[in-house]
Amino acid sequence: MERERTNAPAQRVLVVEDEKKTASLVRQALEAGGFDVEVCGRGDEALEAAIAQPFDGLVLDIMLPGRDGLSVLRQLRAQGNRTPVLLLSARGEVNERVAGLDAGADDYLPKPFVIAELVARVRALGRRGSEAKATVLRVADLTLDTIAHRAERGGQVFELTAREFRLLEFLMRSAGHICGRMSLIENVWDYDFDPGTNLVDVYVKRLREKIDDGFEPKLLQTVRGVGYLLKDAP
């Protein structure tokens, strides 16, 4: 992964994870993605650190020594701290995700997660809320009008089912970032569980036939073992 070249100061992220190997894996990936990373292995220390200094984002594990992640999050929010939080959980359970989002998390990623997706989601944390939701999305010559419910490329309008439309909208909103299967399942299908089918792959394949067949460049790419990516230049 290449370091993103930008003139703005690097974003600071606090990674709270007690499992050392996982923590170092996340640290490496985020640093390669251009973030300044601090790692903390205990819930109580993480809470102090997050209150004492400003971070641009928090990656928070749920099972932690000292104080569990959900309690850290609740305490932060109770104090009016709005630092965006991505929750990590080994459990990947419906109740857990709902509890996490209720406690004030901005996003949730079940373990085992895709590292590339984690980086993409941390990056998205910063953007969240700061960008008004665009109603017309563009990637290369592909446009999607979310109000008129219309998708076209090179003057050709596509017939999309409701689900295909949501899939395309989600991929276009995260254009340039890898979307893992689980995040597509959660965001396009609203499934809080892994349905154990190749539903996502089949839908993406159909969508690709519609938007990429007969057009150049190919926009919708498969990242083997990781997920999908919609982007303009190769």
Partner 1 sequence: MTIRTRLTLWFAVVSVTALLVMAVGTYVEIAEQMHHHHHHGPDEHAVRETTEMILEAGLPAVLLGLAGGWWLMRRALAPVAKLTQAVEQIHAGNLSARLPHSGNGDELDRLTDVFNAMTARLDHSFQHIREFTLHASHELKTPLTILRGELETALHDPQATAAQKERLAGQIDEIERLAKIVDGLTLLTKADAGQIVLKSEPVRLDELVRECVGDTRILAQAQEIQVGLETCEEVTVAGDRHRLRQLLLALADNAVKYNQRQGRVNFSLQREGTCAVFKLANTGPGLPAELQARVFDRFFRGDASHDSAIDGCGLGLSIAQWIVTAHGGQIHFVSGLNAPTTVTVKLPWLA
User: What is the bridge-based pairing of β-strands 36-40 and 57-61?
Assistant: unpaired
Q: Report the alpha-carbon distance of residue 123 to residue 2 in Å, rounded.
A: 14
Q: Report the alpha-carbon distance of residue 170 to residue 149 in Å, rounded.
A: 14
Contact string 4-43 vs partner 1 (x = CB under 8 A): ---------------x-xx--xx-xx--------------
- Residue 24 tokens, joined: 């170092």
Residue 163, class by beta-carbon neighbours within 10 Å (0-12 exposed, 13-18 middle, 19+ buried)?
middle
Q: Please, what is the minimum distance in Å from the beta carbon of residue 221 to partner 1? A: 14
Q: Please, what is the minimum distance in Å from the beta carbon of residue 192 to partner 1? A: 5
Q: Report the alpha-carbon distance of residue 159 to residue 177 in Å, rounded.
A: 25
Nearest to 137 by CA among 147, 145, 129: 145
Contact string 45-84 vs partner 1 (x = CB under 8 A): ------------------x---------------------
Q: Does 158 bind partner 1 (CB under 8 A)?
A: no
Rule CB under 8 A: choose which of 9, 54, 155, 225 binds partner 1.
225
Q: Please, what is the minimum distance in Å from the beta carbon of residue 7 to partner 1? A: 26
Q: Report the alpha-carbon distance of residue 108 to residue 41 in Å, rounded.
A: 19
Q: Please, what is the minimum distance in Å from the beta carbon of residue 111 to partner 1? A: 5
Rule CB under 8 A: choose which of 4, 48, 102, 194 binds partner 1.
194
- Residue 53 tokens, joined: 């200094």
Q: Please, what is the minimum distance in Å from the beta carbon of residue 76 to partner 1? A: 24
Q: Report the alpha-carbon distance of residue 88 to residue 219 in Å, rounded.
A: 30
Q: Please, what is the minimum distance in Å from the beta carbon of residue 155 to partner 1? A: 27
Per CB under 8 A, which of residues 107..146 are in contact with partner 1? 111-116
Rg (CA), the chain: 19
Q: Does 234 bind partner 1 (CB under 8 A)?
A: no
- Count residues contacting partner 1 (CB under 8 A)? 38
**153-to-70, 108, 141, 159, 213 alpha-carbon distances in Å:** 44, 33, 6, 12, 11
Q: Does 213 bind partner 1 (CB under 8 A)?
A: no
List residues near partner 1 by CB under 8 A.
Answer: 1, 19, 21-22, 25-26, 28-29, 63, 90-95, 111-116, 161, 163, 191-199, 202-203, 206, 224-226
